[in-house]
Structure 1
Amino acid sequence: MGLLNRYAETLSELGSFVLPAPLKDMRVGLFNTTLANELALPEHLLQPQTMLDWLHSPVTPLTQQAFAQKYGGHQFGQWNPELGDGRGLLLAEVIDSNAQPHDLHLKGAGPTPYSRHADGRAVLRSTLREYIGAEALHYLGIPSSRSLCLFTSEDTVYRERPETGAMMIRTAPSHIRFGHFEYYFYASQKDKLQRLLDFTIEHHFAECKAATNPYAALLGAVVTRTARLVALWQTHGFVHGVMNTDNMSIHGITFDYGPFAFLDNYEPGAVFNHSDHQGRYAFNQQPGIALWNLNALAHAFSGHCSVDEIKAALSTFEPTFISQYQHLMLSRMGIETNEKEQSLAVMQSWLQILETNNLDYTYCFRQLALADINKAQCPFHDIFVSQENRFKQVTLVDQEKTDAWWESYRKLRLAREEETELLSLNPAVIPRTHLLQQAIELAEKGDFSLSESLLEATSTPYDARWDTHPFSKPPSSSTHTSLSCSS
């Protein structure tokens, strides 16, 4: 099957047709051959140069119906109707070999009617972070948009400083956001909201069509998917950074990467977005914000669902999130037993040890997976000491408490009838902020070798070969890097 344009053709009044505006001397920086094959792209699009060439012509299947979507969103809790694809364009849609749809979306495409006087551009810094970050989450088993192709250029784009202009083509089941429904609801454009709802059910949530109320079923499905997604974020120490409703996908996938980061040292209140002065999008606030966003979305369903139906859908978030989070965490530790209360207590004690001693989240979970459970002596003293020296802390790790915790943990592990393979649940490699920054600095000089190495590592994050690789090591400082929304 070739390229489709179902959203642009069916809902043409919900946006604007806009031609991409190529950058100066664009060239391919990265191309995801694996994803291209998975998508069952037309053969000529398996060559990244073809994609690049097509973006420069107004009459190709990638450009002739390129479409900027209109939406709004709650940004840091405040409603903003003046949003939309200000630098992105929906190029086309492909149907893969499993009959699943995937948007091809160009980021950094140039000005659109929704750019709000901005340049419509993206910079290499943020584009590369999204490219690697999205692929890393996918291979960790966290639903995400995917990265197909990155283009760099000789153009200069001005943000906090002059930067290299870039574009990327990403994929997702669709680019429909919470903010789409909110916008047409608050604008009192009932007919457009109706058409958007029906399109979403028809093409993306067909399982809801048989429900007594398909719209209530749709809302319930979005709630469930979102709860499961955030449980995965919390399990892996992922911080999205800017959970505005226009950055939330109805598909329950990680979407619109901005100032994202993975935790280094375990700090539940960690904030990475330098614009988030109140800590609204801190790591430990993400579940509550997700529910807040779902409540905001639910207003758009008020003309199609009863109050009781909306309450019923929203009420499933908390139990779904808690159940999923506890299952994932206990599985990572190998202590999902019938003694759930005891298992949860051991899990909480482990997190307290990490937090109290400023220990690296991912590294310590990996070391837990590598530990010999048959040894009575706690294997973490050396790790804790080395972590302590790394951060030059004065307080010594309380060995008595860690020894007691290890004994409780061992008992739970050894009581299980079947031992869990923990190495396949605890990654050795994540796209740490300092590694991404190193890759950016090289890429800005035209060298994508480190980017490619990071992509190789994060696409096989559980492989034992990374345990002795520098990518698996925590950074030399525990200080959180403040990241920018701007790109």
Structure 2
Amino acid sequence: MDASPPIRFDNSYTLLPPRFYAEARPAHASEPRLFAFNHALAEELGLDANYLAAHGADVFSGNEQLPGAAMVAQVYAGHQFGHFVPRLGDGRAMLVGEVVDRKGNRRDIHLKGGGPTAWSRNGDGRAALGPVMREYIVSEAMHALGIPTTRALAAVTTGDTVYRETKLPGAVFTRVAASHIRVGTFQYFAARQDEEALRLLADHVIARHYPELEGEEDRYALMIEAVCRRQASLIAEWMRVGFIHGVMNTDNMAVSGETIDFGPCAFIDAFSFNKVFSSIDAHGRYAYANQPTIGQWNLVRFAEAVLPLLNTDMDKAVERANQAIKVFGDSFNDRWLEVLRAKIGIVTPGEGDFDLAQKLLKLMEDGRADFTRTFRALAASAVSPVADAGFAAEFIDREAAMAWLAEWRAYVDGDGIAPQDRAAAMRQVNPAFIPRNHRIEQAIVAAREEGDFSLFEALMRVLANPYEDQRDFARYAMPPMPDEEVARTFCGT
């Protein structure tokens, strides 16, 4: 009897018409080496983790073609920095196939950096080691932080050179997602006035991500509302931990509500509402505080694409779409207020909650306080005023910080919550560790220049438990020294 395949594929996307994708084959990797494999995720997906750990270099470089694999590049369009590009697609990625995990959830397995596809637009379709490491680190950190995200299954070096501004070692990243369907996927077919494809895609998305809507007469508008709710919650969660996506184009917004495409992303050190890291975001379109506005802008584009499905009367379709989009703003405002209350330890809601939290954020911006350390220090102050000096030390103006602390303590006093319980709750939403830019860069440089992955491995261990103090790794909680600051992050292409 033949042995069971290491991955049991159950593909559904390729049951859609051929205009949704193009066949793809990975380029050969000359000397693949597996440097990261997520054994726990492989088990969760129901894969043969032992086989993949032993043969991962060939499997996750694309050299070994597994039976039943789909191997297609998906087509989509997108607004990139506000400008519509009608034909994008997976230019350096391909859908290996889908699996149904141990909980019955359908998941995509995706190779990124495996070589050119039909949508590569004269690019080489390759990935360099640095962007692969960054995506692996940040996606798994996001998961550990409790934020919906694509996951990292494996990463290999290829033994080949990738040419960008300089010669760089090549690598391939294997990610897992609820799906890789984007707002831009809908835009692609809307731009072609292909209503049949729009309907097929919408029905596929509903069946896969929002099955509770199947059979509803108004299901396409309800789908917009459901996507709005998930995106509103997602962006609020990003902001909770100081995350800046960096390139919130419509082709980088997944309709599943997961974080996708970790390109020039970063976590804030010294807080600023207008903080930007992306080297290509010259005007701050995707700055930290702009993310809710851009999220809604993207979802308006989503609703525009779906208009033909809402009503044959275009005026009525627009009216219904506007109602659906309003869900985003309401959902975000509600969720963001919940986040702010949790971050500063408010248990009993009050009218002054938002103003008190915003006052702290403005104080942090003026005082160049570290985002993560400040909120973690506030949890310590919730236990005892003895810790107040540590909180104030994060600010340039320590007197202003102490004045806010006094106001905060008076505001929360008398709600009946024990100090230790308040602090414990605050520590569950305010991490001690984030993937700081300078630590990621140090790990990348060591791997790229010396072939040393020990810093990468240590960082992954720390970030697996971001809400624990981990005193042995206290240095990973420290902000960068001036000469360690990473002011700009770059797109992996």
Which of 443, 449, 456 matches 2:454? 449
Which residue pairs with 2:47 in the alignment? 41
Partner amino acid, structure 1, of 2:410: K
Residues 158 and 62 of structure 1: CA distance in aligned 2, closer, same or farther (over 3 Å): farther
CA contact (8 A) 1:62 1:91 kept: no
Partner amino acid, structure 1, of 2:42: A
Give 1:210 shift: 3.5
TM-score, normalised via structure 1 length: 0.93
Which residue pairs with 1:319 in the alignment? 330
Q: Secondary structure at the match of 2:237?
A: helix
Which of 322, 328, 334 matches 2:339? 328
Partner amino acid, structure 2, of 1:397: D
Which residue pairs with 1:404 in the alignment? 403
Which residue pairs with 2:141 in the alignment? 136
TM-score, normalised via structure 2 length: 0.92
CA contact (8 A) 2:157 2:171 kept: yes
- Please state if 1:430 is matched with 2:434: yes
Q: Deviations over 1:178-214 (max 9, x none)?
A: 0000000011122222221122122222111132311
Give 1:57 shift: 5.0
Partner amino acid, structure 2, of 1:455: M
Which residue pairs with 2:313 in the alignment? none
Which residue pairs with 2:258 in the alignment? 253
Q: Secondary structure at the match of 2:338?
A: helix
Give 1:370 shift: 1.9
Size of the aligned set, in residue pairs, is 474
C-alpha distance in structure 2 between counterparts of 1:287 and 1:134, whole Å: 20
Give 1:466 shift: 4.3
- Please state if 1:458 is matched with 2:463: yes
Q: How does 1:217-236 map to 2 (within 5 A)?
A: 217-236=222-241
Structure 1 unmatched runs, 5+: 389-395
C-alpha distance in structure 1 between counterparts of 2:75 and 2:405, whole Å: 54
Partner amino acid, structure 1, of 2:435: P
Which residue pairs with 2:269 in the alignment? 264
Which residue pairs with 1:338 in the alignment? 349
Q: How does 1:75-114 map to 2 (within 5 A)?
A: 75-114=80-119
Identity %: 36
Structure 2 unmatched runs, 5+: 1-6, 311-316
C-alpha distance in structure 1 between counterparts of 2:327 and 2:59, whole Å: 48
- Please state if 1:368 is matched with 2:372: no
CA contact (8 A) 1:130 1:257 kept: yes
C-alpha distance in structure 2 between counterparts of 1:460 and 1:276, whole Å: 31
Residues 51 and 203 of structure 1: CA distance in aligned 2, closer, same or farther (over 3 Å): farther
C-alpha distance in structure 1 between counterparts of 2:261 and 2:68, whole Å: 21
Partner amino acid, structure 1, of 2:234: L
C-alpha distance in structure 1 between counterparts of 2:34 and 2:68, whole Å: 16
Which residue pairs with 2:364 in the alignment? 354
Q: Secondary structure at the match of 2:108?
A: strand
- Please state if 1:4 is matched with 2:14: no
Give 1:82 shift: 2.6
Residues 145 and 154 of structure 1: CA distance in aligned 2, closer, same or farther (over 3 Å): same
Which residue pairs with 1:14 in the alignment? 20
Give 1:46 shift: 4.2
C-alpha distance in structure 2 between counterparts of 1:51 and 1:312, whole Å: 50
Give 1:328 shift: 1.1
- Please state if 1:293 is matched with 2:298: yes
Partner amino acid, structure 2, of 1:38: E
Which of 163, 166, 180 matches 2:171? 166
CA contact (8 A) 1:181 1:300 kept: yes
CA contact (8 A) 1:373 1:410 kept: no
Q: Deviations over 1:287-312 (max 9, x none)?
A: 10000000011111111112222111
Q: Secondary structure at the match of 1:116?
A: coil
Q: Which moved more, 1:459-468 or 1:224-233?
A: 459-468
Residues 53 and 263 of structure 1: CA distance in aligned 2, closer, same or farther (over 3 Å): closer
Q: Secondary structure at the match of 1:148?
A: strand
CA contact (8 A) 1:354 1:360 kept: yes
Residues 325 and 5 of structure 1: CA distance in aligned 2, closer, same or farther (over 3 Å): same
Residues 109 and 57 of structure 1: CA distance in aligned 2, closer, same or farther (over 3 Å): closer
Q: Deviations over 1:430-460 (max 9, x none)?
A: 0000000011011212221111111111110
